[in-house]
Amino acid sequence: MKTPACQLYLISPLDVGGDFPARLEEVLAAGPVAAFQFRVKDVDQHEAARLAEPLQSICRAHDVAFIVNDDMALAKRLGADGVHLGQGDGDPKEARRLLGPDAQIGVTCHDSRHLAMEAGEAGADYVAFGAFFPTATKAARHHPEPEILTWWQGLFELPCVAIGGITIDNAAILIDAGADFLAVSNGVWGHPEGPAAAVRAFDKLMAG
């Protein structure tokens, strides 16, 4: 059987106001993106919902899953496609009860095989390992080796996501190791030739 190609999981920058909806539209039109994670900090839920709604509509138009970072209640309010939980953001079982059987629930597992197995047992739809490379997006204390992706793929059906400082220049080792998805933020939004060019380059890389 042919292994499905790795896919791009796009993470928003923290600033999604202003012209960001137009930028997202351009990026999603540039090439295949499997999912978009809405990640904002230090705003209340009403403001977060206001910012999210146009982005969610754009994702829906492009058949891209809209995933909310950290906040189950906001995911419920928006009718989002899923939620991504850090280790301190709640239980996947609780998220499943709140969001229903069709929600995509992801869990950050850092560099821990144990946490990943626990997440799978708790009903997560994917596990995320990282940060694989230095990242300015958030402070990262855990730095797994790519081999953890190969180990996971050899034992489990559940998809795995690689995250943390991923760029066009360093992504190949994670694709080769077995990542089902590459979660990328600044590697797209901060690309010197622009985000749309980054998406096209990732698509070419993932197609092999």
Is residue 34 over pLDDT 80?
A: yes
d(CA 74, CA 103): 13
Q: pLDDT value at position 5?
A: 85
Percent of the chain's residues with pLDDT above 90: 93
Contacts of 131 (CB under 8 A, 6+ apart): 140, 142, 143, 163, 164, 165
The residue whose two tokens read 């990328």 is 184
- For the chain, the first-to-last Cα distance in angstroms comes to 17
Instruction: Judge contact between 104 and 81, C-beta under 8 A.
Output: yes
- Average pLDDT value over all residues in the chain: 95
Q: Does the structure show a pLDDT above 90 at 3?
A: no
Provide the pLDDT for residue 1. Answer: 35
More confident residue, 45 or 139: 45
What confidence score (pLDDT) does residue 208 get? Answer: 81
Inter-residue contact 128 to 107 (CB < 8 Å): yes
| Average pLDDT, integer, range 59-71 | 98
* pLDDT tens profile 187-205: 999 999 999 999 999 999 9
pLDDT for 77 beyond 50: yes
pLDDT digits (tens, 9 = 90+) for 151-171: 999 999 999 999 999 999 999
- Find residue 84's DSSP bridge partners: 69, 106
Q: What percent of the chain has pLDDT over 70?
A: 96
CATH numbers and ranges of domains, the chain: 7-207 (3.20.20.70)
Q: Which of 64, 58, 61 is nearest to 23 (CA)?
A: 58
Contact 182, 166 (CB under 8 A): yes
> Which of the residue ranges 74-78, 133-137, 162-166 would you say has the lowest mean pLDDT?
133-137
Q: Which amino acid is at 88?
A: G
Chain segment 83-98, per-residue pLDDT in tens: 999 999 999 999 999 9
Q: Which run of H or of E encompasses 115?
A: helix 113-121
Query: Which of 51, 41, 35 is CA-nearest to residue 71?
Result: 41
Residue 116 and residue 49: Cα distance in Å, rounded?
Answer: 30
Predicted confidence band of residue 175 (pLDDT cuts 50, 70, 90): very high
